[in-house]
């Protein structure tokens, strides 16, 4: 597996996360079924002398392995390496640098409703380097270890692709997406960091089409930088929600009385709420869109709908219904219930 960003930018050239922007993809036909192809998780670790260093020998070969995956939903794939070795000066046995790199990783991919739904990439491990002569060592030992994953995926409907990243102890983490099978210049977006402790979230609008996702955690060190011991952990997740869909279920006790749909009507720029069976218990219902009062219903019955229209296509929407219930008996106050649901924007 290649390192697309490492090859282009190089370790040490960046010190912050790049923000994902809108990707303009070449138009491709919609796909009836979700497809994930060419998936792989790969790991590697090694230690060696740098160029122009003294005559030195590495005591252990590199550690590497890989696994392929395709369209299997919700299956967790695991992989790791355990590398222990040293680089020793051929002319001075006391000039020795010991290296340990251990990393374990897992990858889980899911699809839903004709689209890629989510990916969950987790890694953890420990990296250490101890040079007997410290910065004075003659082998200029360099070592690194990584776990990376990538796969191609298709989406049948345009929507929002979100990457969340959190890492500790690694000195390079990355999540990368690019458009597949397009003519013209490369189109890609990247979120990466070279801080040892990093969190970040980025989101990009994806038209229907084919894409490639790549993620990596990486640790490297030179003996001339001093001895090091690092415990490492990281989680990189990616998720896709079609435009206008609700990323999460409705919240609040009012959902027993009012149903807020799984997606807004992008063509009609509206969200339509529907009263459910116990609607006769609702004395008054007030509906809000993004905090602004839109409609009030004083008589509700099962099946009655409330259309909240004139929504802005390119803005996310949060709908809230505040329900005042009939008191259980005279002289007792009625309860108030709420139900809330948020929807993504219909366009980027």
Q: Please give the residue that has the higher pLDDT: either 272 or 54.
A: 272
The answer, yes or no, to whether residue 10 has pLDDT greater than 80, is no
Q: What is the CA 155 to chain-centroid distance, rounded?
A: 16
| Chain centroid offset of residue 210 CA | 17
DSSP string, 280-324: GGEEEEEEEETTEEEEEESS--TT-EEEE----TTS-EEEEEEEE
- Count of beta carbons in the 10 Å neighbourhood of residue 187: 15
Beta strand ranges found along 59-114 (DSSP E) = 63-69, 76-89, 92-112
Question: pLDDT tens, 35-86?
Answer: 788 899 999 999 999 877 789 999 999 999 999 987 666 788 999 999 999 9
> The tokens of 50 are what?
């740098």
CA–CA distance, 204 with 161 (Å, rounded to integer): 5
Q: Are 319 and 289 in contact (CB under 8 A)?
A: yes
With the C-alpha atoms ordered 262, 249, 246, 214, is the resulting torsion angle positive or negative? negative
What are the residue ranges spanned by the domains of the chain? 4-242, 253-343
Of the candidate ranges 30-44, 135-149, 201-215, 229-243, the one whose mean pLDDT is the lowest: 30-44
> 121 or 19: whose pLDDT is higher?
121
Q: 150 falls in which pLDDT band (50, 70, 90)?
A: very high
pLDDT band (50, 70, 90) for residue 348: confident
- CB 80, CB 147: distance < 8 Å: yes
Structure token digits, residue 32: 């009836």
pLDDT at 16 over 70: no
Q: What is the pLDDT of residue 180?
A: 79
Bridge-based pairing state of the strands 172-179 and 209-222: antiparallel
- Asked if residue 80 lies in contact with residue 112, where contact means CB atoms within 8 angstroms, the answer is no
Gap between the Cα atoms of 323 and 18, Å rounded: 44
58: nearest Cα among 35, 32, 86: 86
- The token duo for 266 is 């992008």
Structure tokens at 75: 């299956």
Q: Per the structure block, which two tokens stand in for 184? A: 């013209």
Position 185 scores a pLDDT of 59
Q: What is the pLDDT of residue 111?
A: 86
The pTM assigned to this predicted structure is 0.84
Backbone angles phi, psi at 196, to 5 degrees: -70, -25
Q: According to the CATH classification, is domain 253-343 in 2.60.40.10?
A: yes
Residue 75, pLDDT score: 82
Residue with tokens 């005279």: 330
In contact, 320 and 344? CB cutoff 8 Å: no
Instruction: Kindly report, residue by residue over 296-335, the tens digit of the pLDDT.
Output: 999 899 999 999 999 999 999 999 999 999 987 777 788 9
Question: Which DSSP symbol is given to 35?
Answer: -
pLDDT of residue 31: 43
Q: Which of 127, 123, 211, 225 is nearest to 173 (CA)?
A: 123
The DSSP H or E segment spanning 8 is: helix 4-8
For the stretch 74-128, pLDDT in tens is 788 999 999 999 999 999 999 999 999 999 999 999 988 768 899 999 999 999 9
pLDDT of residue 216: 97
């Amino acid at each position: 597996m290649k390192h697309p960003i490492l090859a282009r930018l190089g370790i040490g050239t960046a010190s912050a996360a790049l923000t994902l922007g809108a990707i303009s993809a070449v138009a491709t036909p919609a796909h009836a079924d979700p497809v994930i192809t060419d998936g792989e998780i790969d790991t590697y670790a090694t230690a060696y002398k740098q160029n122009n260093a003294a005559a030195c020998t590495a005591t252990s070969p590199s550690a590497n392995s890989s696994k392929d995956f395709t369209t299997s939903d919700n299956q967790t794939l695991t992989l790791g390496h355990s590398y222990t070795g040293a680089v020793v000066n051929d002319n001075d046995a006391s000039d020795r640098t010991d290296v340990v790199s251990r990393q374990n990783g897992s990858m889980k991919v899911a699809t839903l409703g004709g689209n890629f739904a989510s990916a969950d990439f987790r890694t953890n491990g420990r990296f250490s380097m101890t040079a007997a002569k410290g910065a004075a060592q003659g082998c200029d030992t360099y070592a690194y270890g990584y776990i990376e994953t990538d796969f191609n995926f298709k989406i049948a409907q345009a929507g929002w692709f979100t990457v969340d990243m959190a890492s500790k102890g690694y000195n390079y983490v990355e999540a990368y997406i690019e458009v597949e099978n397009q003519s013209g210049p490369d189109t890609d977006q990247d979120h990466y960091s070279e801080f040892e402790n990093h969190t970040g979230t980025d989101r990009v609008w994806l038209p229907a089409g084919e894409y490639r996702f790549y993620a990596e955690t990486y640790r490297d060190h030179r003996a001339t930088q001093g001895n090091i011991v690092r415990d490492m952990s990281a989680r990189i997740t990616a998720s896709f929600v079609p435009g206008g869909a609700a990323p999460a279920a409705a919240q609040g006790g009012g959902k027993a009385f009012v149903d807020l749909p799984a997606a807004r009507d992008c063509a009609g720029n509206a969200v339509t709420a529907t009263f459910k069976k116990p609607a006769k218990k609702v004395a008054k219902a007030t509906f809000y869109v993004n905090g602004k009062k839109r409609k009030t219903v004083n008589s509700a019955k099962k099946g009655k709908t409330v259309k909240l229209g004139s929504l802005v296509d390119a803005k996310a929407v949060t709908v809230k219904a505040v329900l005042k219930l009939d008191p259980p008996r005279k002289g007792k106050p009625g309860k108030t219930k709420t139900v809330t649901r948020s929807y993504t924007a219909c366009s980027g």
